[in-house]
Amino acid sequence: MTLRRTVVGGLAVLGALTLILGVSGGVYGLTVARRGFSAREAPSALEAKVARAARSFSMPAGARELKNPLAPLSPQALAEARAHWADHCAICHAADGSGQTPIGQGLYPRAPNMRATPTQDLSDGELYWIIQNGIRLTGMPAWGQLHEGAGNNDSWALVELIRRLPRLGEEELDEIKAALPQSRHELEEQRIEDAFLEGQ
């Protein structure tokens, strides 16, 4: 008798759960059908949290504890890291790391403000792992293949640069901005402007 009761009770709970899941799934499905998936919306707080947790989970054990073998960087190495950042990263992450570029803000998820705590709270090892391996299902590319040639030192130098983003000086920022890739059209405009200023 008690066994039968337990079974019936269990089935009832299972049925209720299925109903709840079915209804919420249906509501979600209808919302998607009505609005579609657009990268113009920002991910919800819940989605961002789940994605970040999944990302942290997907890192191999030990990655977090890796120490930067280059620290402290020489002024020369830091200057190279700034040029590298300007060339490969700033198109999405912006010269100052704020993520405020047309491409960075058009991605889903958005390029984050790397000067803020969520990024700065990541360990050196985590930053390095992300630069080497990218982040799946986002706009963040893996740079490992490119950086292998230089013994992966480029990735470690960028980790140090990211650490410095929150207190980047005016001069360093100007240096990065001056190194941003320019199109042929922009270069031609610059040439005409310079010629004009020289009175030609």
Which residues contact ligand HEC (rule: CB under 6 A)?
A: 51, 55, 88-89, 91-93, 107, 109, 111-112, 114, 118-119, 122, 127, 130-131, 135, 138-141, 143, 158, 162
**Which C-beta is closer to ligand HEC: that of 77 or that of 91?**
91
Q: Report which of 53, 51, 49, 61 is spatially closest to residue 129, judged by C-alpha positions.
A: 61
- Buried/exposed 100-134: b ≥16 CB within 10 Å, e otherwise: ebeebeeeebbbbbbbeeebeebebbbbbbbbbbe
**Which C-beta is closer to ligand HEC: that of 70 or that of 131?**
131
**Which C-beta is closer to ligand HEC: that of 177 or that of 191?**
177
**Which C-beta is closer to ligand HEC: that of 75 or that of 102?**
102
Cα gap 194→198, rounded to integer Å = 6
Quote the least distance from Cβ 139 to ligand HEC, whole Å: 4
The residue type of 59 is M
Quote the least distance from Cβ 185 to ligand HEC, whole Å: 21
- Tokens standing for residue 191: 């040439």
